Each structure stands twice: as structure tokens, then as C-alpha cells.
Structure 1
């Protein structure tokens, strides 16, 4: 096997382990036994620990991947005046899909140097959409990109739901309230196409 093929195989294995870890943590919480990930992924312990030496490194990798997905979406939406609200929508959907990881992320401190790069990537993704929405008159002028962790915490209040359906309903409601508060002259209802479909 060539070096490039080995790299591809390693990257694919890493992605598979992250997918499995996300499912395990969603079902059992972030303190679930790592052996569950090993078993569900069909790999040996050595394979998991080669990629992720400990639980912290695994959770950090999940956070980094989530931030990268957000940044990719931000680039795809860069031409839209409402990109900021669509990114908030996306953040709400991630909270619903990965409640354990979202709760873990919510409880980390921005001052913790282990997470500073991840937080900065999220803020960088939101900064241009914030400025564009403000120029278009869609967003209050005093909103800043570094308000995003606070907004994420507000949306994460929906994690109190006991079932997936309850979480979807609560996160959708929180999203509606947050959007109305951020939008100048917002109508009485929620912005169209943002709350009902968090798939």
C-alpha cells in the first residue's frame, strides 16, 4: 500500500470512529465507555487509541469537525444576506442531532486553551454573515460574532427535553425567540423556513 493510500485509509478510519463516537455519545452521554465505540466500530482498542489517545482528544476532534462543517456551510452561504440566520438554523439542528456533544461544548470555557482554536473557527465563520446581515438591515447593529457562544447556550436550553421530539420542539421554540430578538422590526411569528424543519 502506498503512503497516500495509507493516509486515505487512516482518514477514513478516523471519520468512521468519529461517526460512531457521535452516535454512542448521543445515546449514552459523553462519559459512555469507550469500549462501546470500539465494539460498534468493529475495531480493536489499539485502533481507537492510535487515533484518539484519550476521551478528551476524541471529544475535541468531534468539536473540531463540527466547527469545520459550520465553516464550510458559512462559505456556501456567503452570497446570502440571511446567511447568519441560516447558520443559526444549522447550529440548532446540530444541537438536536448531537445533544451530548452540544451539552459538552456548552459547558466548556472559552478561556480554556484546549478549545481556543475551535471557538475561533466558529467566530470566524459567523463574522462575515453578521456584517452582511447588518448591512442588509436584517440584524441589530450591536450584535457581534463573539455573541455566538451566548446564542448557542440559549438554543441549547432545548436539551432539557427528554425525547428527540421534545428537544426538537424546544430548540425550535428557542430559535424562534432568538431570531425575533435579533431582527429589527421582526414580525410576530418566526422567520419562514427555520423552525419546523430541523432535520
Structure 2
């Protein structure tokens, strides 16, 4: 009896889940064999899906961005969407600190990262407009302002543990919201 291999998309998800966990625990420079071991797949499976470390980090960035875009869409009728998205991103920063740190170190002119920032802006822009229109937010932030806010949330990277980072992210978010909420 031959065991059927899972579909490529399922293996890709397994690998990304494993990479996310390994990078969160050991940093982005962790040996790729740790990802293979955590995903319980062969090394060839990893390299069929992701030819190198950058491909894995790009896929993780894309997945995180897609989650944010999906959340923005799901919250499209919620007046609190802007604040809920900020909270979601703050939590993600705290959980995936090494990934965030990695992307902070990438050249600001990197085309892929610039595109991701643009997409992130679009995820936040409409919910922010609704928050301003409904009187929940003092005023619109510019794209650079939003980048600054997200950078401030990145201050949570100073925590040594996920729990400390989450507490710092929550406190940073609280301070930010006190400044922008009406």
C-alpha cells in the first residue's frame, strides 16, 4: 500500500507554519534543517517549495500581509476596524519579532518591501477614513505617519520573551491610541 503525499499547498502551509515557529523561537538565521524537522518533511520538499531563506521570508511576509488584508476586508463594516487592525498588527509584531527585525533591516528601497508597505497602507486607509468620519479618530494619518506608528509598535522587539514583547506591544498601542483616538 502506497501512502499518498499531501498536496503541494498543504506541504507549503506546513513549511510556513514551521518556519514561522522556528524563526520566532530561534531567529531568522536558524538552520533550515530545523524547519524541515518541525514540518516533518524531507529536505527536498523544503527546497522544492522555497529555493532559499529569502524565499521563505518573502512567503511569510506575503502570508502575514494577506492575513491583514483579509482582516481589513472582514472588518469593512466595523467602525472600530482601524483600531482592531492596529491591535492585530501589534500582536503579530510581538509574536514574530525576528521576522519583523529582519524586514526592518532590509534596504528601504527594496521593491518587494515597498510593495508590501503600499498594500499595508491600503489595508489601513479605508478603515482609518471611516474612523475619522465617525468621529472615533482625530484625523487621518499619512502613509508615513502609519509607518511611524508601526515602527513605534516595533519597539516591542526589545522584550526578551514573547510575553514581554506582547506586553510592550500592548503598552505601545495604548499610548498610540491615546494620541489618535478622538
Residues 38-49 of structure 1: matches in 2 within 5 Å? 38-49=36-47
Q: CA–CA distance in 2 between the matches of 1:124 and 1:151?
A: 15
**Do residues 169 (structure 1) and 140 (structure 2) align?**
no
Quick check: 2:139–2:180 contact (8 Å CA) kept in 1? no
How far is 1:161 from its partner? Answer: 0.9
Q: What is the TM-score with the length of structure 2 in the denominator?
A: 0.91
Q: CA–CA distance in 2 between the matches of 1:49 and 1:157?
A: 34
* 27-36 or 106-115, larger mean C-alpha shift: 106-115
Aligned residue in 2 for 1:75: 73
Aligned residue in 1 for 2:149: 151
Q: CA–CA distance in 2 between the matches of 1:151 and 1:103?
A: 16
How far is 1:118 from its partner? Answer: 2.0
Aligned residue in 2 for 1:35: 33
* 81-90 or 160-169, larger mean C-alpha shift: 160-169
CA, structure 1 residues 176+109, in 2 after alignment: closer, same or farther (shift >3 Å)? farther
CA, structure 1 residues 146+74, in 2 after alignment: closer, same or farther (shift >3 Å)? farther
| Offset from partner CA, 1:169-199 (integer Å, 9 cap, x none) | 2111101001111123xxxxxxxxxxxxxxx
Aligned residue in 2 for 1:191: none
Residues 27-176 of structure 1: matches in 2 within 5 Å? 27-176=25-174
How far is 1:143 from its partner? Answer: 1.1
> Quick one: higher RCO (CA 8 Å, sep 6+), 1 or 2?
2
SS at match of 2:136: coil
CA RMSD of aligned residues (A): 1.8
Q: What is the TM-score with the length of structure 1 in the denominator?
A: 0.83
How far is 1:109 from its partner? Answer: 4.1
Aligned residue in 2 for 1:194: none
